[in-house]
Amino acid sequence: MIPRLAVQAAEIPWLPTKEDAIGARDAAGRLYYAKTDGGSPAGRTPSALANELTYHVVAAASGLPMPAGALLEVDGRLAWGSEALPRRLGIPREEAAQVLAEACAASRQEFENLGRALLLDLALLNSDRRPWNILASREAGQVRLWYIDHGKSLVADGLEDCGLRRIGPGALSDARFGAYLTCAEANRLFLGRATDQDLRSLWAGLSLDRKTLELARVLCPAEWRPAALQQRLQDFLLPWWAHLAGWVSRSAPLQRLRELVGGAPRP
Give residue limits of the domains in the chain: 4-83, 91-261
Residue 60: closest CA among 122, 137, 120: 120
pLDDT tens per residue, range 20-60? 889 999 999 999 999 987 544 445 679 999 999 999 999 99
- Lowest-pLDDT choice from 35-49, 89-103, 120-134, 220-234: 35-49
Q: What is the mean pLDDT of residues 208-230?
A: 95
pLDDT above 60 for 266:
no
Sorting pLDDT into bands at 50, 70 and 90, what band is 72?
A: very high
- What does the mean pLDDT of the chain come to? 92
pLDDT tens per residue, range 87-99? 999 999 999 999 9
Residue 38 confidence (pLDDT): 56
Residue 44 confidence (pLDDT): 60
* CATH number at 91-261: 1.10.1070
Q: What is the mean pLDDT of residues 57-73?
A: 98
Strand boundaries in the chain, DSSP class E: 4-6, 8-9, 21-25, 31-35, 69-74, 77-83, 89-90, 134-139, 142-147
